[in-house]
Structure 1
């Protein structure tokens, strides 16, 4: 009887802990969304609601963020200045930021690229310069291969280009293959553990450079403290593991110019594996190396902007320019900050 009583007490205690963790997670998620609300507009694409920011006028640039990120990851770039000469479109990948992703989706890299292609169609962009960071680089490369008519050129910043030999240290906890276990952890342990280890994770992701003190708000990092972000990141890790070998085998098919910017000190992706291999894989690839880490759009915004402007200037005049039918005023965090 005593053993049965103790077991019942243990079950009740565990249930209480789980309930507390779930409530804590929901409260943190609500506060995160209050601190960093949606910046832009929404479009329904392929059954998902896609969040994007669209401002400026001129040749179009489409920005695709990386793993566990969202569109504010580009907020440190001088986007307000860039918008004087270019139309800027920032997008939350499906499942990230404020874009939705149904739980049953496997989020294949090819599917995510097709969503971006549909966005380009709906916004009537004509062969934009597609800027992809980290995992966004792999999606950009897939977009250029599967939908070449939608891309004028690629500008890739610290892109994932090759099959990963191992998951980078800060993201190993995301590699959960069970959908049920992934969801359970996302709604209980992921957020409190993420908050406790956040400083260490940011130091690694940004290293050897320092993470800015305002990254949680200005860079949108606080949105990572939500169950959906954890689940989406976990699925992205697994789909990248599955899809990257097939993608890497196709680079000889690239038909658009590809410029790559890599930091020699990148702790997340090795520039020798993911950068220096690319010019040999395709004659269309040009590699630029700088001293820096993985988060160059945040840590070196001016240098990144100058590189982007150089890439854009090499595109044929008028190739990706289509005037907007009407100018709209978009109040965005990035634009207002002159980020």
Structure 2
């Protein structure tokens, strides 16, 4: 290697280091801003030395709410909690690695790992937190990815009944797309998130939220309230991508146990949902479960609890009656 080549190599390394430092510095500032703008709304419960963030309100039979991918407790506290807290004691959790809940175990903390908490691990962590809050036999509602966690809860822990809202609960054909493949990998998940955290634009955030609600409009003020900056933190991006990227083998295994689940289960799904399609998830799940009722909502996309909240409330009330807790 010539002296000139060595000099160019050193210069390139210095430029790369400088670029990385600038990106990390910008990401640090945006994460700090997100925490300031969207602070914790509830309390913290310790489970095996790790914190679980929970919002607890209302009175009546216990109702646990579990959010979907890229979410946090604010998806439910935006509006839905107010619709049920007069009839239920509502416990809303941040899932592991999202919002303000820690990862479930040390092995998931590395930036370079490609593994993540299974639905069963997440359900176990949240159930342990729920027990510390005095919850013993709750109705458990899960939306989207949270539907798989709710199903794991029902399979493995005491519950009065389940409500699955647009739940990702069954094996699906095909892949999840390039973004999950890259962010879910060890190297991609370590390298890419700082750039996303540092440079994601408000336009991109709004377009993403619109696509999640499509074909329905997002409620006014939702994007400002739900805390997209929390989702865009580096560790949250990694947790979310890796949980979604590793979900399919877990629902394959869980689906073999669904016929043994005798709890009352209410399934709510929009027939215009392209994120978690009705015909891939809730319809076949309904055929496997011995004690389920499927409600199909015409023209609704992936967010029934926002677009048709009363249908979701009605499903909760039906489960409560069927389980004998109301």
- TM-score normalised according to structure 2 size: 0.89
* Counterpart Cα distance in 1 of 2:154 and 2:291: 12
User: Which of 300, 323, 326 is 1:315 aligned to?
Assistant: 323
Q: Deviations over 1:131-187 (max 9, x none)?
A: 10011111111111112xx20000010001112324445953555321x5413322x
- Equivalence for 2:184: 176
Q: Which moved more, 1:60-69 or 1:276-285?
A: 276-285
* Alpha-carbon distance in 2 for matches of 1:175, 1:13: 24
Pairing of 1:254-293 with structure 2 (within 5 A): 254-290=261-297, 291-293=299-301
Residues 1:15 and 2:17 aligned together: yes
Give the gaps of 5 or more residues in structure 2: 109-115
Judge conservation of contact 2:163–2:319 (CA < 8 Å) in 1.
Answer: yes
Secondary structure at 2:64 match in 1:
strand
- 1:253-289 Cα distance to aligned partner (Å, 9 max, x none): 1020111100111121110010111221122111100
Q: How big is the shift at 1:215?
A: 2.5
3-state SS of 1:12 partner: helix
**TM, length-normalised to structure 1:** 0.86
Distance 2:148 2:12 in 1: 47
Partner of 1:37: 39
Q: 1:220 aligns with which of 215, 227, 235?
A: 227
The equivalent residue for 2:57 is 55
Secondary structure, aligned partner of 1:271: coil
Cα distance per residue 1:6-31 (max 9 Å; x no partner): 22222211111111110111111111
Q: What is the root-mean-square deviation of aligned Cα atoms in Å?
A: 2.1
The structure 1 residue matched to 2:90, chosen from 88, 96, 106, is 88
Q: Are the structure 2 counterparts of residues 276 and 193 from structure 1 closer, same or farther at C-alpha, using a change threshold of 3 Å?
A: farther
Alignment of 1:1-339 (within 5 A): 1-101=3-103, 102-105=105-108, 106-147=116-157, 150-169=158-177, 172=180, 175-178=183-186, 180-186=187-193, 188-195=194-201, 197-290=204-297, 291-317=299-325
Q: Is the 8 A contact 2:62 2:139 kept in 1?
A: yes
**Conserved 8 A contact 1:174-1:237:** no
Q: Which of structures 1 and 2 has the larger relative contact order (alpha carbons within 8 angstroms, sep 6+)?
A: 1
Q: Gaps (5+ residues) in structure 1? A: 319-339
Q: Does the 8 Å CA contact 2:147/2:168 hold for their aligned counterparts? A: yes
SS at match of 2:280: helix
Q: Secondary structure of the equivalent of 2:190?
A: helix
Q: Which moved more, 1:17-26 or 1:237-246?
A: 237-246
